[in-house]
A and B are shown apart, each in its own frame.
Chain A
Amino acid sequence: MARVSVAWSNLLHERTRLLVAISGVAFAVILIFMNLGFMGALISTATNFYEQFNADLFIISTETLEISTSTAFPRERIYQVAGIDGVERIMPLYSEYLLWRNPETGVSRAIFSYGVNPNDPVFLMPELQGDEARRILSRPNTVFFDRLSRPEFGPQDIGTTTEADRRQATIGGTYTLGGGFAADGTLIMSDQNFVRYLKPRPLNLINMGLIQVNAAVSPEKVAETMDSLLPADVAVYTKPGMIDHDATYWLEATSIGFIFSMGVVVSFVVGAVIVYQILFTDIRDHLPEYATMKAMGYRSRYLFKIVLQEAILLAVLGYLPGLAAALGLYHLTAKATAGTLPVAMNGGRVIFVLGLTLLMCCLSGLISVRKAITADPAEIF
């Protein structure tokens, strides 16, 4: 027969207290999940435009922090790798902020502009495919405008004419991309227009090199070969690597990571305090019984185990409803923000938060167990 589970019986005996404890843990779990969810969603909005880049490998300067804070590097770098086995196509990408004037208010705002060779399939947006798009892109002083740009940039209708850096600019088409964290809006224009607007910018200094590789080879392999060939002023990334590079920047070099990590820490502490309170009250109520057990010949280690078991049971019992509620809230958030805040669960987070919850409850258990350990059997006579 199994041992009498004192931990389980004690928890079940006080139904109300158990319910409060479970809600407390679940609440902390939800808070932690929401903080991590928002952080993950923000990071993914900061980098999800990369999904629309029609490239397998990215070459950037080692000084580039993220896409909008890039250092230009010689165009020769992409020519140097063009001959490597498996490389299908190399495409230069120019990018820079440009002052875009709202034609209605006359106010100018910095908009993030991409310059591409009209013949290169740099982007995957359907509006930029085909001969017609290429023709429009090749027109002088004509740009494609991002529909996800902030409304402050003014009307987005095709044919709208305004000024960009004291030069006339006409919207020749629109697309949907989004500017991530850095940019309030984006433009796409031909490389010829780009050097006109951003004079004296030469065409032989590029901000990013995009490389398409043959489906038969692995991008990682090709990236390795490139790394060994290229000088140290540039670095090669695969698409996931590139996304990771930018995400790391946003997480570590800005306050975003700090803010949400702080949220996680606060939730953790709140949960720990709730569990501590519950366990402490439970121990205090059962002090004579614990002392009796010690008199009977149980060691402190056994009491230790009871409290720790209670803590772990609370962690698991609170985690499950917390996870379910968090999934519901993720769904609700994604729906309420019409997908602009793509809050989504992933396996790593499920396990990470479970570990965090167990840690939280065990820590509280360890703090509160001191009371049980000090139960002196000589005092209950």
Chain B
Amino acid sequence: MFKPQQTSQQFAPAREDLAVHIQHLNYFFGAGDLSKQVLFDISLELPKGQIVILTGPSGSGKTTLLTLAGALRSLKDGSLRVLGKELVGLSDRALVGVRRNIGFIFQAHNLFESLTASQNVEMAVELTGNFSSKRDQAGAMLSALGLADRVDYKPQSLSGGQKQRVAIARALVNHPKLILADEPTAALDKKSGRDVVNYLHALSREEGCTVLMVTHDNRILDVADRIINLVDGRLESDSSPNAFIQSKQGDPTDVSADMFIM
């Protein structure tokens, strides 16, 4: 039986240079006797402008960690600061406010089939209240992702890669300082997947935004500044891509440096 440990941990003060600052985070699913701990004493610092890949076997808690950082779940234990804001103990309403500064990219594109590419992106711009410029903003973002000639197409007449790029345009159009992506390339072919990752890379370099990405896709590990490996709810390793690949040598599901264009 696990009980949330109400320890008197001392949390470090907020730091300006961190996009995400996690300290001694425990997370449980369920309540009471049925509760099951999925994250154990996670401490993690993501500086601004970094691309961090979160990897690990299924059920290791990657996605849970991602949703926690995305202010999609409410937290009671530990400390989790996102973009300078402490999420532990925030009300649902305040969490919604935090989410507006985060770009989400999902495995499925989740676009409204009834709306055009531009309208889907405009939905995100409307959150900022920029009604007069929303069409231009959406158009610019779609053009940046190579969809200038698909602005008024509905999702059903777009390819899988194009749809995912529209979804990415929707996530990025408000220039969020933190991007959370869950398997963004899983549904894409090699080239589209690479394009998407390259774009995220360029964006993080140009705008200094932090990207936290969950992926199993070995083809894209090279864009990461760091690779964090999560096993059974615990941080297993936190290393550079090269070190990560070295550590995986001899693993049957081999990753090798030749796979990357580095």
Whether B152 is near chain A, meaning CB under 8 Å from some CB there, is no
Whether B1 is near chain A, meaning CB under 8 Å from some CB there, is no
Q: Looking at the complex, which one of B106, B122, B132, B134 makes contact with A380 (CB distance below 8 Å)?
A: B106
Residues 164-188 (chain B) with a chain A CB within 8 angstroms: 170, 182
Q: Is the CB of A378 within 8 A of B127?
A: no
Whether A232 is near chain B, meaning CB under 8 Å from some CB there, is no
* Shortest Cβ gap from B248 to chain A (Å): 25
Q: Looking at the complex, which one of A6, A9, A10, A296 makes contact with B100 (CB distance below 8 Å)?
A: A296
* Shortest Cβ gap from B169 to chain A (Å): 13
Contact segment of B40-48, B111-119, B196-204, B223-231? B111-119
Known: A4-B123, A9-B119. A289 touches B97 (CB 8 A): no
Q: Is the CB of B72 within 8 A of A378?
A: yes
A312 to B132, CA, bound (A): 27
A305 to B93, CA, bound (A): 17
Q: Is the CB of A292 within 8 A of B113?
A: no
Q: Which residue of B lies closest to A296 (CB)?
A: B124
A12 to B114, CA, bound (A): 8
Q: Which of chain B's residues have a CB closer than 8 A to the CB of A376?
A: 72
Contact segment of B62-70, B81-89, B252-260? B62-70
A321 to B170, CA, bound (A): 39
* Shortest Cβ gap from B208 to chain A (Å): 21
Known: A4-B126, A297-B99. A292 touches B104 (CB 8 A): yes
Q: Looking at the complex, which one of B70, B93, B123 makes contact with A6 (CB distance below 8 Å)?
A: B123
Whether A295 is near chain B, meaning CB under 8 Å from some CB there, is yes
Whether B110 is near chain A, meaning CB under 8 Å from some CB there, is yes
A3 to B110, CA, bound (A): 19
Q: Interface centre among B111, B112, B114, B134, by most A CB within 10 Å? A: B114
A285 to B253, CA, bound (A): 37
A380 to B124, CA, bound (A): 18
Known: A1-B132, A1-B135. A295 touches B115 (CB 8 A): no
Q: Which of chain A's residues have a CB closer than 8 A to the CB of B115?
A: 4, 6, 9
Whether B194 is near chain A, meaning CB under 8 Å from some CB there, is no
Q: Interface centre among A13, A289, A294, A296, by most B CB within 10 Å? A: A296
Q: Interface centre among A6, A294, A298, A381, by most B CB within 10 Å? A: A381
Q: What per-residue 1/0 map shows which CB atoms of A39-53 lie under 8 Å from chain B?
A: 000000000000000
Binding site for B on A (CB under 8 A): 1-4, 6, 9-10, 12-14, 286, 288-289, 291-299, 376-378, 380-381
Q: Can you identify 18 A-B contacts, CB atoms within 8 angstroms?
A: A1-B132, A3-B126, A9-B115, A10-B112, A13-B114, A288-B108, A293-B123, A295-B72, A295-B99, A296-B100, A296-B124, A299-B96, A376-B72, A377-B72, A378-B67, A380-B106, A380-B108, A381-B182
